[in-house]
Amino acid sequence: MTPPRILYCNCTYAQVVPKEVKEAVLKRLCESGVAFDAVADLCEMSARQDASLKRLAEGGAVKIAACYPRAVKWLFHAAKAALPTEAAEILNMRVQSADEVCAALFNPELKPNLPAGKTTKPSAEELPKSEVAV
Separation of alpha carbons 27 and 97, rounded Å: 14
pTM given for the model: 0.85
What is the predicted pLDDT for the residue at 107?
A: 96
Separation of alpha carbons 34 and 26, rounded Å: 11
Indicate if the pLDDT at residue 97 is higher than 80.
Answer: yes
Mean pLDDT across the stretch 39-62? Answer: 95
Contact in structure between 12 and 67 (CB atoms under 8 Å) = no
Separation of alpha carbons 43 and 56, rounded Å: 15
CA distances from 126 to 32, 35, 81, 94 (A): 29, 30, 24, 9
Higher pLDDT, 1 or 31: 31
Separation of alpha carbons 85 and 97, rounded Å: 24
Mean pLDDT across the stretch 3-19? Answer: 93
What is the predicted pLDDT for the residue at 119?
A: 47
Mean pLDDT across the stretch 2-6? Answer: 92
Angle, to 10 degrees, between the axis of helix 19-32 and the axis of helix 98-106?
A: 30
pLDDT tens for residues 102-113? 999 999 999 999
Spell out the domain ranges in the chain. Answer: 5-131
Indicate if the pLDDT at residue 4 is higher than 60.
Answer: yes
